[in-house]
Structure formats: structure tokens, C-alpha cells
Amino acid sequence: MKRTDLVVVGGGIVGTVAALSVAEAGGSVRVLDSGENAGSDANAGSLHVQLQSRFIRLFPEKAPNVEASLPLYLRAVALWDNLEARFGPFQMVRNGGLMLAETTEQLRFLETKAAREAQHGLNVEILDRSGLESLAPFLGQHILGAELCRDEGKLNPLHANARLKAAAQQAGVVFTRATVRAVRKSGAGLQVQTLDGAECSAEQVILANGWGAGALTRGMNLHVPVEAEALHMNITEAGDTKIDHLIQHAERSITLKQFQTGQIVIGGGWPAKGRGLRVPEVLPESLLGNVALAGRLVPSLAGLRVLRTWAGVNTTADGRSILGRLPDCPGVIVAVPGDAGYTLGPLVGQAAARISAGHDASEDFPGCTPLRFAS
């Protein structure tokens, strides 16, 4: 492989947008992607803004970092609007998201959460049962109320990923299927080595490979604590129920949304079995539990057939995005979004591109530098 201005490791939403941004500014860019376990290609298409109850429940020690990052989510969905206008359609709809409560305790939890989110600029409102009737008459009668976050939305990630990659290729980005083994200093630049023995030299490298970034940074004297979280998703045949919002729950793991095709995508964090570099394995108990919960919340879905079920890999760290140059190897830029990485992906990708051009992103992404792991 010949020398290039920038090598991007990872061809998901972060890497694609980073590469597109640099190429549109005149830089030569090569994206190296293994083609395996890509989080973006397995994503279900939720555009999250409000705090996810699942994250608060499972990772309470990390939840403050996500809450501090809420203004980034508002900027992220605004960027998605711009990308849709330029490169869409992505089947994108931003009618808001509903987080459902079945008990008075869950409703009180949502009230407290909404008050905190409003302080960060989110457009949120607590709805009682009567307020829900006009927005979501399909919900089960046991739903007492919900938090409405008007900033949230949904899209078809297969459309978005394909169109953004095509735009990047048209701008001159070269996509190569390869698994990166190491990144090392080489004179005034960097040498990228792949598992098949090929090498590529570059002035700068952006690590946009999510949970895979940790193994590469360890070779550059910094441990970035990213972890792979295997998760489960489903899609049904088209249904008659019209669901305009992203649906979540105050206490249970679920996301539920409808594509323009009428199909229902059901996900929200049910576990799958991770298998290292191989695609995760679907767990029958997650399949059954996930779709059963969807049918309980929206009874009209109960008769629909599940057409496909699959598993993908989410990346978790400390709740904040990881964005910036490595202290011992400043030519390497880490670009890993925080919780709800697909939502934040384009924002982090664009910021990484700006960093590669010499700009400082620390003010726009406070507390997100990888230097926080240097100790």
C-alpha cells in the first residue's frame, strides 16, 4: 500500500464520516476495515438523546459521565439532520422518543431524570396516560405514562451507512478490507501493519475501530479501557400499527421503532454471546425475552413474524467519548464515541478530522481526551 496523508482504522460510522470530512478538505485517505464485527453495520438505527435507563441501571458509576455529555447528543442529532439533507435519504424521522413507565415508581424516576436532562437543554416532558393516547394509542393499557424527549429519532442504518460510504468513495477515499495488527512510529510518520503482512505508511492515523482501539493503543503506552458488549436485535415483517417514536422503557431493556417499510426493529440491549473477533452468537433467551417484552408493551405486535434476528457489538468505556491525540504518539488520534455510539458517531468522526487538520477539540468535547487514562 502506498503512503497516504491519513489512515483511518475502522470503516463504521465514525471512520466513514472522518474519512469523508478529510477527503472533502483535499486530503488523501485510506480506510482499513476488517469487515468483521462492525458495530455500525449491526446497529438498529436509534438516535438516542435522553439518558437510557438501561445504562443507568447497568453502569451507575458511568452514568454521570453520560449525563455530562448530553449537550453532545443534541449537537449529534443536529449533525444527523445535516447529513440526511446532504447525502440522504436515510429514512430518518425525528418525532421524538418515548420512555414508558408501568408503575408509579418508574414514573417518579422519569420525572427526576427529565428534570436533570432539561438542565442540559433537552426538550423533555412527562406525559400521563391521557397525554399518551394521542401520541401512541397502540400502547398497552397498563402503561401509566412516559417521558417524551422531542430531540430523539430513528433512521435506517443500512441506508445511512451505504450512502455515506458511497459519498466518501466519490470524494476519493479508498476502502480496503484489512485487519490492523499494530501502528508504530516510522521516522516522521507512522507505519500501519496488518495481519496479512501488508504495511501502509501515513502521516496520521485515526483509530475509529471502537472496542478494537484498546489493543492498538497498548502498543503506544496507553491503555484505553474499551470493552466489547455483544447485543441482540430483531426485525419483524411489516405491521399495521403506526409507530412514530423511538420507544424505550424506564426499567426494562428495549428499543422499538418502525421503518418506513412498516417493519418493526426490536432491540435495546439484550445480551448476545461474544466470540472475540467472530460475529457474536444469538442467544435464544434474548430472542424470546426481547420480542415478548415488545409484544407486552405494544399488544398489536403480538401476531407479527420475526423475519431476522442478529447480534452486534457495542463499545463501552467510561461513559464519555474518547477523542484526541495519544501523548506518546501524537500522530495517532483516538475517536471512540461514548454511550449510544451510533448517534454520536458522525460528530466524533468530524471532530477527529478537525484534529487531524490541527484544530483543538477539547473545548467542544470537555473531558474526552485519552489523556485521562494516562495514569
- For the chain, the average pLDDT equals 94
What integer pLDDT is reported at residue 182 of this predicted model? Answer: 94
What integer pLDDT is reported at residue 188 of this predicted model? Answer: 80
Q: CA torsion, points 11, 219, 332, 19, in degrees to nearest 10?
A: -10
Long-range contacts of 224-228 (CB under 8 A, 24+ apart): 224/317, 224/322, 224/334, 224/336, 224/370, 224/373, 225/317, 225/318, 225/373, 226/315, 226/316, 226/317, 226/322, 226/336, 227/315, 227/316, 227/317, 228/37, 228/274, 228/313, 228/314, 228/315
299 and 349 inside one domain: no
Overall average pLDDT of the 281-296 stretch: 96
User: In the predicted model, is pLDDT for residue 277 greater than 80?
Assistant: no
Q: Which triple of cell numbers denotes residue 299?
A: 399488544
Q: Which of 316, 347, 365 is the last residue of a domain?
A: 316
201 and 212 inside one domain: yes
163 and 307 inside one domain: no
Task: Pick 199 or 148 by higher pLDDT.
Answer: 148
241 and 296 inside one domain: yes
What integer pLDDT is reported at residue 2 of this predicted model? Answer: 61
Q: What is the CATH number of the domain that holds 214?
A: 3.50.50.60
Task: Pick 7 or 277 by higher pLDDT.
Answer: 7
pLDDT per residue as tens digits for the range 64-119? 999 999 999 999 999 999 999 999 999 999 999 999 999 999 999 999 999 999 99
Q: What is the CATH number of the domain that holds 145?
A: 3.30.9.10
Q: Is residue 48 part of a domain?
A: no
Compute the distance between CA of residue 227 and CA of residue 214 in angstroms, rounded to an integer: 8
- The b/e string for 234-258 (b: 16+ C-beta within 10 A; e otherwise) is bbbeebebebebbbbbbbbbbbbbb
Amino acid at 129: R
Element (H, E) at 231: strand 227-238
140 and 238 inside one domain: yes
H-assigned helices in the chain: 13-24, 53-58, 63-68, 70-87, 104-118, 129-135, 157-170, 213-218, 284-297, 341-356
What integer pLDDT is reported at residue 129 of this predicted model? Answer: 95
179 and 311 inside one domain: no
What integer pLDDT is reported at residue 55 of this predicted model? Answer: 87
Q: Is residue 50 part of a domain?
A: no
User: Of the ranges 227-241, 268-282, 317-331, 344-358, which one carries the lowest mean pLDDT score?
Assistant: 268-282
pLDDT per residue as tens digits for the range 13-48? 999 999 999 999 999 999 999 887 667 888 889 999
pLDDT per residue as tens digits for the range 256-273? 999 999 999 999 999 999
Q: CA torsion, points 67, 69, 72, 76, in degrees to nearest 10?
A: -70
User: In the predicted model, is pLDDT for residue 241 greater than 80?
Assistant: yes
| Closest CA relative to residue 357, chosen from 320, 325, 322 | 325
176 and 295 inside one domain: no
Task: Pick 186 or 254 by higher pLDDT.
Answer: 254
200 and 260 inside one domain: no
User: In the predicted model, is pLDDT for residue 1 greater than 60?
Assistant: no
Contact 6, 335 (CB under 8 A): no
pLDDT per residue as tens digits for the range 118-145? 999 999 999 999 999 999 999 999 999 9
User: Of the ranges 83-87, 179-183, 219-223, 260-264, which one carries the lowest mean pLDDT score?
Assistant: 219-223
36 and 164 inside one domain: yes
18 and 125 inside one domain: no
Overall average pLDDT of the 222-227 stretch: 93
Could you list the residue range(s) of the whole structural domain that residue 125 is in? 93-151+231-316
What integer pLDDT is reported at residue 186 of this predicted model? Answer: 86
Query: The pTM is what?
Result: 0.96
Which burial class, exposed, middle or buried, applies to 188 when counting CB atoms under 10 A from its CB (0-12, 13-18, 19+)? exposed
% of the chain with per-residue pLDDT over 90: 87
- Count how many domains the chain has: 2
265 and 145 inside one domain: yes
Q: By three-state DSSP, how is residue 95 classified?
A: coil
